[in-house]
Amino acid sequence: METEHRVVPGDARDIALPDDSVELVVTSPPYPMIEMWDDAFADLDPAVGEALEAGDGDRAYRLMHDVLDAVWAELARVLRPGGIACINVGDATRSIGDGFRSFPNHAEITRRLADRGLRSLPDLVWRKPANSAAKFMGSGMVPPNAYPTLEHEHVLVFRNGQRREFPPGDDDRYESAYFWEERNEWFSDLWDLHGEPQDLDAGVRDRSGAFPLELPYRLISMFSVYGDTVLDPFLGTGTTTLAAMAAGRSSVGYERDEGLLEALADRVDGVADRSRAIARRRLSDHREWVRQRRADGKEPGYEAEHYDVAVNTRQERRIRLYAVEDVAETDDGYRATHAPVEEIPE
């Protein structure tokens, strides 16, 4: 298997892709009203900077979302019928103008994508690692002027029209199956992800809100099949690209800050080992689940075709995991070759 991964240094408000050409979008935009992204929004629309300087938080919030809205228009154009879009975003809290308030970015993005004709589906909430043991903001022990600390982000899920259709018994679809117990964990609406540390210098961290690789890897595995293309219009340091490689999907990513793309080039070197580790962990975890299932007196009803292990449903029988063998640079990104992950010892 080969996958292509285009990396475009450019503005996602003008995506050079045909209509209906990508099956999945997985992205995390700059979060409006989070100070680390103030300058980025003001560069794209100077009126944002003027509103912030005037202490007009409501106007700055609307203008920032207007900037993002131009990207959402392109997203709706290139997403194929039945395709899925997953938008990771956090809400903001800020003291500006007349005082402290919350800015519900997840609600505003949901409204704007619905206005673009995309169907809102049940979303996910994931808890991110907290940098402080303190669980409040404000006056501490004296009511009523303390506030909860935001320790979660939203993954908003949308579909372009009706459900996607496949030919009966489609090989790519059934090889892309996930295990029954993975389904039960991944499709719960609350995730607790700690991820793994990322080797990024301080300047890159100050410009990019990186999320753990597990997040886009899960979403790509949940909402696409082998052979699909994943779009990330806010590529950042390329975590979605790495997850697409690890999951055996092609990808296209846009990023205005070319310094962030240099970080992706450094991170690609380790993707083969990481993808192999992910696949082998999934197989090992499934073997442990089967052992526990049998210990509980519940025998899985089927055998996997490509692995010497039982599975719980007919839809899992053809599951096949792939890992990256090699990544080569191309004129506009990378080409990855993949091989099936073979059986691991009991």
Cα torsion 253, 258, 263, 268: sign: positive
Average pLDDT value for residue range 16-29: 97
Buried b (16+ CB within 10 A) or exposed e, 79-105: bbeebbbbbbbbbbbbebeeeebebeb
Q: What is the CATH code for 2-274?
A: 3.40.50.150
* Whole-number pLDDT of residue 1: 93
Average pLDDT value for residue range 256-263: 87
Nearest to 222, CA basis, from 141, 168, 159, 285? 159
User: Per residue in 325-345, pLDDT tens?
Assistant: 999 999 999 999 999 998 654
Check pLDDT > 60 for residue 235. yes
* Whole-number pLDDT of residue 343: 63
Q: Cα-flanking dihedrals φ and ψ of residue 41, to 5°?
A: -65, -40
Whole-angstrom Cα distance, residue 111 to residue 115? 6
The answer to whether residues 283 and 341 touch, using CB atoms and an 8 Å cutoff, is yes
Check pLDDT > 80 for residue 249. yes
Residue 205's pLDDT band, with cuts at 50, 70 and 90, is: very low
User: Per residue in 163-198, pLDDT tens?
Assistant: 999 999 999 999 999 999 999 999 999 999 865 545
User: Per residue in 266-314, pLDDT tens?
Assistant: 899 999 999 999 999 999 999 999 999 999 999 999 999 999 999 999 9
Helix (H) or strand (E) holding 121: strand 119-127
Domain limits, the chain: 2-274, 276-340
- Rounded (10°) CA dihedral 260, 261, 263, 267: 140
Across 25-29, 138-142, 340-344, least confident range = 138-142
The answer to whether residues 23 and 80 touch, using CB atoms and an 8 Å cutoff, is yes
Alpha carbon of residue 222 to chain centroid: 11
Question: How open is the CA angle 209-210-214, to the nearest 5 degrees?
Answer: 145
* Whole-number pLDDT of residue 132: 55
Residue 260's pLDDT band, with cuts at 50, 70 and 90, is: confident
Average pLDDT value for residue range 236-257: 96
Check pLDDT > 60 for residue 134. no
* Whole-number pLDDT of residue 204: 46
Average pLDDT value for residue range 247-257: 96
Helix, strand, or coil (residue 339) = strand
β pairing state of 310-311 and 322-330: unpaired
